[in-house]
Amino acid sequence: MSEQVAQPIWRPLADGLPFFAALSNGKRKRSVSDLLTLLVTLLLAGLFAGLSVPTSGFEQALVNLIGAIPSFLDVLWRLGVACLLLWVVVILVSSTVRVRVEVLVDIAAALVVAVGVALAFSRQINGVWPSFSQAASGGSAGSVPLISLACAVAVSSAASPHLSLPFRHFGRWVVLAAMLCVVLLESSTPFGALLSLLLGVAAAAAVHLGLGSSMGGPNLTGVGVALAQLGLPVDHLVEAPRQSSGVFLADAMSPTRGAVHIKVYGRDARDTQLLSRLWRAIWYRGATRPAMTREQQVEHEGFVTMLAASRGIAVPQVLVAGMTDSGDALLAVAQRGIPLEPGPTVAVEKIWQIVRSLHQIDLVHGALNLDSFAVVDQEFLLTDLSTVTSTTSRDQQLTDLAQTMVVTAI
């Protein structure tokens, strides 16, 4: 079912290192994950701030263990810290050379927030303002928190949503390695290093929450090229007016197939990260596990759509499905039609008939709403089958029925 396409569709088509995920001046939005990150990191930062002074017995044991490590290894730990500094420089230089103003703005704002928050925590914990030496390198006795580490983490975290997935992961590993090296160099205590990490992440999350963060949106030209390589040339490719979390939607016209609706699951899209996957895994516990990878998502939706069509259920026709070498997946179906709007025009019986037909072939939807249905040539279709699973669970069928009652009552 899935085909390989060489052209990456979730990043610019220009030659060169795919360092950034989204196009310059691409879409930004405020994300619930940024809010959760901010709340959790601030909560943990407050906890570690309370545990940092006085030093606990457990932390002191760790400090004593670190003190027993031979000093000739310090050169390795300094290299680890240098890697983080180099990573920060790479981000700044790349953003400047590629004229990524939005990245530079995020970094500058995150730095200001990180310095302010770290200074406030340092004053609260130690009772005095830190000296420049303490802020930069921990001074002679180590600093809690280490402000320079918090700032470096803030830069990496602020730029992270703008980067392609491999570099995003690389940055996280560099940050974790540098945090460990800071502790081994005794520039901060174990809890102090963790506190610095949390403050840097919190600063970046606050900026993303305030300004919005990059969605890692696709290049529409790349989507068109990928579809052409799959044997479905299209034109008039535009972003769909309604978007769904975790997937990019586009509409186009095909000379041979007419109106086409495209779904793109991108490797770099932030909404396809672990949080949404874990939520679906919890929601569907005890039943068939939801598709967890982009390729599985496309194959799953394509399969259940064709299965439903073969059983006489009104669903769109699957045209093509494919997987790019860069890890992006797409699914194209025949015209999606006109989404339903609240009001008396909603055909109650047609919607109930579609839901009952799903249950008769042991399929449940799990997320029915008005956007799940559309009208094409006076025919009602179930257009979104991304959450459909195969199960005989009566509880999940009742969930579908309850959601259908809400849809038809609007």
Q: Are 390 and 363 in contact (CB under 8 A)?
A: yes
The pLDDT value given to residue 206: 96
The pLDDT value given to residue 17: 53
The pLDDT value given to residue 285: 52
The pLDDT value given to residue 237: 86
pLDDT tens, position by position, for the chain (410 residues)?
Answer: 445 544 445 444 444 457 887 554 456 777 777 888 999 999 999 998 888 777 777 777 877 787 778 888 889 999 999 999 999 999 999 999 988 898 999 999 999 999 999 999 999 998 889 988 888 888 877 788 999 999 999 999 999 988 887 899 999 999 999 999 999 998 888 889 999 999 999 999 999 999 887 666 566 777 887 788 788 888 888 887 777 766 788 888 888 888 898 888 766 555 555 555 555 555 555 444 554 677 778 888 889 999 999 998 989 889 988 876 556 788 999 876 676 666 555 578 888 989 999 999 999 988 888 888 888 777 888 888 888 888 878 888 898 889 888 888 76
The pLDDT value given to residue 245: 64
**From-to residues of CATH 3.30.200.20 in the chain:** 4-10+217-409
Distance (Å, whole) CA 317 – CA 261: 10
How would DSSP label each residue in 70-134? -GGGHHHHHHHHHHHHHHHHHHHHHHHHTT-HHHHHHHHHHHHHHHHHHHHHHHHHHSSPPPHHH
| End-to-end alpha carbon distance in the chain | 38
* CATH level 2 (architecture), domain 4-10+217-409: 2-Layer Sandwich (3.30)
pTM over 0.75: no
Counting beta carbons within 10 angstroms of the beta carbon of residue 406, is it exposed (0 to 12), middle (13 to 18) or buried (19 or more)? exposed
State both tokens at 135: 């802020």
The one-letter amino acid code at 190 reads P
Q: Are 144 and 195 in contact (CB under 8 A)?
A: yes
The residue length of the chain stands at 410
The pLDDT value given to residue 171: 95
Burial 188-208 (b: 16+ CB within 10 A, else e): bbbbbbbbbbbbbbbbbbbbb
What residue has token string 């002679």?
140
Distance (Å, whole) CA 199 – CA 147: 9
Distance (Å, whole) CA 126 – CA 189: 13
Within 10 A of 51 (CB to CB), how many other CB atoms are there? 16
User: Which residues neighbour 165 within 8 Å (Cβ) at sequence distance 6 or greater?
Assistant: 21, 267, 268, 327
Distance (Å, whole) CA 287 – CA 281: 9
Q: Are 337 and 375 in contact (CB under 8 A)?
A: yes
In this structure, what are the phi and psi dihedrals at residue 385, rounded to the nearest 5 degrees? Answer: -115, 20
Within 10 A of 383 (CB to CB), how many other CB atoms are there? 22
